[in-house]
Structure 1
Amino acid sequence: MLDFSTFAEFSRTNCIGICAFLVPANLLTTLLTVILAILGRSSHQIWRSVSLASIFATFMIYHVYTWFMIGVVMLPTYILLALAITCLLTNFVSVILHKRYFCHQNISQNA
């Protein structure tokens, strides 16, 4: 059985390493999603990028939550939380806009 307190302790103990990986990973995968959407790549490629970016953003939210659990309320926790939420929203907005723009473009070309 998984014990959340063990994962929370691991997350707080290795905070620098986790943040050093998750911050660039969030930014790069979100940038990749936006670039794929702008270039008009297939929905499959975009959803693959969104899935990976969402995993990183979710891990960042859980990591910040472990700090909130013990009462650490500082500027870096809010910045990391805002970064994760912004990356999640950017990814899903990219998917919606890609669908809206390229589906309408394909329909008008077929008509």
Structure 2
Amino acid sequence: MQFMPAIDLATLLHFSHQNCIAICAFLVPATFFTTGHTAWAFLFDGSLYRIRLSAACASVFALLLFLHVSSWFVIGVVTPVTFILSGLGGTCLFVNALAVAMTPDLELVPRLKTQFLAKT
């Protein structure tokens, strides 16, 4: 009996390469906006649940973007766009991880809120 993997990697890579513009057109804004929402929730909302939910969604988008760009590295496509997109994914992962790691320090958030509102 021959073992068949649940997902054929070659088919997945082919799909990623054939639909690159559509995948990037969705993942880049989704990654950017959900990471922005995580930062907004961290700075102004303070709800632990909202910060973690937003960071989880943003991290999924960033990981998918990073995997998509990695599929281009696998076949040897090394262009500035691949480096920019992988940098975007890595930066968003860092911001989300930082927001989740700092959520226990929520006494910092009211001070930031007060300082921001006092300046406006």
- In structure 1, what residue type is equivalent to 2:80? L
Matched, 1:13 2:13: no
**What is the aligned-residue RMSD (CA, Å)?**
1.7
User: Which has the larger share of helix?
Assistant: 1
Residue 85 of structure 1 aligns with which residue? 90
Q: Give me the whole-angstrom Cα distance separating, in 2, the residues matched to 1:105 and 1:83.
A: 25
Residue 65 of structure 2 aligns with which residue? 60
Q: Give me the whole-angstrom Cα distance separating, in 2, the residues matched to 1:12 and 1:82.
A: 19
Return 5+ residue gaps in structure 2 as ranges: 1-5, 111-120
Closer/same/farther in 2, CA of residues 21 and 77 from structure 1, 3 Å limit:
same
Percent identity reads: 40
Matched length: 105
Closer/same/farther in 2, CA of residues 70 and 103 from structure 1, 3 Å limit:
same
User: If the length of structure 1 is used for normalisation, what is the TM-score?
Assistant: 0.87
If you compute each CA radius of gyration, which structure gives the higher value, 1 or 2?
A: 2
Q: Give me the whole-angstrom Cα distance separating, in 2, the residues matched to 1:49 and 1:103.
A: 20
Q: Which ranges of 4 or more aligned residues in structure 1 deviate by more than 4 Å? A: 103-106
